[in-house]
Structure 1
Amino acid sequence: MRIGELARRAGTTTRALRFYESQGLLTARRSTNGYREYDDADFRLVNEILTLQAVGLSLDDTRPFVDCLRAGHEAGDSCADSIEVYQRKLAEVDACLDRLNSVRAGLLTKLAAAVARQPEPCRVVDRNTGEPNAIEES
């Protein structure tokens, strides 16, 4: 199949496929007229890349999975290097969640303290009249 058909089948763009090729993730064979030619194995590679990116892996993170498929394995995560990428990415996500939970806890503490002070509407002085105005709360 040509690049346009592969892009349509995989739900991506020809530009993305050319980029994958430039990054060494996809290899196109050339027909006699110079057109890129792909097969079902290439379709599997592209699907693997897109699926992995959809769950948060970077394009570079997909390399071990692509290599695993190219080595003839049924699944891209059948190889130890792929498992290591999953583990590393999960550790990154866990660290991010820890940071977010810390921020959330800090915000909850600040909110509870502010509410406990029973806040009143803020008054702002009108620059033109010098009179105080209440800020409308929404």
Structure 2
Amino acid sequence: MLIGELSRRTGVHTHQLRYYEAQGLLEPGRGSNGYREYPDAAVLTVAQIRRLLEAGLSTQEIGFLLPCATGAAPDLEPCPELLDALRARLRAMDEHIDTLNRSRQTLHDYIEVTERRVSSHPYSPCTVMT
């Protein structure tokens, strides 16, 4: 099938499909006219890529995991390297969430302190540019 048909069947824009190809996640053949030709199995591969992206994985990580993917969910065939990669990604996400939570709390503290100052000193000489 041509890229337009794959796009229609998966709901993924053609530029995204080309990006997946550039990242080595999809490997279309080429017709005699030079057009990309995807096998029917590409529909499942695109579904797997999309689900793995939803999990917060990078295309590089997906390239590593995709050979282990089965089914549309996708299910992953267990192996130590795969679990190590998934656990490392989860740790990185947890660290990022912790950092965001600390930043959120700090911003909340600034707002709270500033609101208290506004109630005690309603007129302030500072000008904030947005």
Percentage of pairs with the same residue: 34
1:68 aligned partner: 68
1:48 aligned partner: 48
CA contact (8 A) 1:7 1:14 kept: yes
Matched, 1:36 2:36: yes
> Hey, which of these two has a bigger chunk of helix by percent?
2
> Kindly tell me: are residues 40 and 108 of structure 1, through their superposed partners in 2, closer, same or farther at Cα, counting changes over 3 Å?
same
Cα drift, residue 63 of structure 1: 1.0
Per the normalisation by structure 1, the TM-score is 0.68
- Residue type at the aligned position of 1:119: S
Matched, 1:26 2:26: yes
Q: What CA distance in whole angstroms lies between the structure 1 residues aligned with 2:44 and 2:123?
A: 60
Moved >6 Å (runs of 4+): none
Root-mean-square deviation (Å): 3.0
- Residue type at the aligned position of 1:93: M
2:17 aligned partner: 17
- Residue type at the aligned position of 1:3: I
Cα drift, residue 22 of structure 1: 2.5
CA contact (8 A) 1:2 1:37 kept: yes
- Residue type at the aligned position of 1:91: R
Q: Which has the higher contact order (CA 8 A, sep 6+)?
A: 2
Structure 1: runs of 5 or more not aligned: 125-134
Structure 2: runs of 5 or more not aligned: none
